[in-house]
Chain A
């Protein structure tokens, strides 16, 4: 570990102000599970940590039929995993939480921290992108709500401005007939970073797919949607041939790279397999 100064502001105003005045070397701390690793491995040089855990009201998971799901910046992956509302209504998000690192890590890691790190392989992002989530922020001059799909600008980068703090995620309530799944590909069954992650969120009525959102993780600089594959599914009866065609299309819509975990070609191939399996699984779960 390296040394740093530690701050515990009591309000978002104070946190934001601190971030502004402390400048470059200041980082927000919520769960810390990624940040501490980066400090130890000298990937980030941190002069100040601003811990927002004393800020009230950020640790709740709320559900309502009208507004859907809302959770704050201090909500951990473990908290979401344990939420019956999430398990019942957002099975893709629930699956992503169960697949994230370990139980111990999930008890510390915040979901918003996982998102703000903007890693293309972060498990929490594909289901939330597929489900049309938005991120609410705090700024001294007034916060904003940003659709998650527009939040990321590249690996490790987002549209957050200096001093702007992500405070909550909102996810619209699922329409009746909604079908969801998240599948993660890794060499082991746990403690993996996704080589590929695929989340699907389908709307169905009378056996017809009325809307489809597919989000692909770890196969581009940011989590990607696959609009043409979605178009193939939309309006169909989700028969095997259509699912297969959509899966093939999704392979064309990703832009994977090769690294130590996998080659680009293999990742692309897995986008096909996982998309097909995720759509199939989503439909089976409903039945």
Chain B
């Protein structure tokens, strides 16, 4: 089967990959782009472990063909850190609150939470719960995840207002 040349931006970096058209974005990210942070928990859109942001929208990378990401900008968990030695406030808060146990759901949840906070830095509990309803975590009971997202949101909002004042 002939391969297609896929050109896209992943975490701000231009990539061109020769791929089979039947491969999912998830498989291509993990196997061709070497980005194994995004996980496969079901491969059928039910668990959210594969959540990535494509052109500003969170999607299940398992439910999208890689060819459909032609020209798109994709963000994965590997692109969350603002700098090599810096963590995103969500990453920090997840460590602090114990929001990650086995960690298999964590990349998808971090991406989803980032999207949520980017839209709405101070979400209500209901909004956080609604925002994560497509991400399964089987280890934590979610409580610590909610705590971490609230903490990160508060810090991000504070940092933003500081930089606005400055």
Contact = CB atoms under 8 A, between A and B. Distances in A.
A63 interface: no
A6 B63 contact: no
Given A6-B65, A36-B63, A107 B58 contact: yes
Interface string A1-28: 1111110100000000000000000000
Interface residues of A, number: 27
A104 B58 contact: yes
Q: Which of A3, A36, A102, A189 has the most CB of B within 10 A?
A: A102
Contact of B133 (A5, A6, A102, A107): A102
Contacts of A264: none
Contact of A108 (B21, B22, B63): B63
Interface in A34-65: 36-37, 40-41, 49, 51, 53
B43 A104 contact: no
A51 B51 CA distance: 22
A33 B62 CA distance: 9
Contacts of B43: 40
A191 B21 contact: no
Contacts of A49: 22, 65
Contacts of A108: 59-60, 63-64
Given A3-B20, A3-B22, A51-B68, A36 B134 contact: no
Contacts of B62: 36
A32 B46 CA distance: 14
A190 B133 contact: yes
Interface of B: 1, 4, 20-24, 27, 43-46, 48, 51, 57-60, 62-65, 67-68, 112, 130-131, 133-135
Task: Rank and list the top 6 A-B pairs by shortest CB-CB distance, nearest first.
Answer: A102-B134, A190-B133, A6-B21, A107-B57, A37-B44, A104-B60
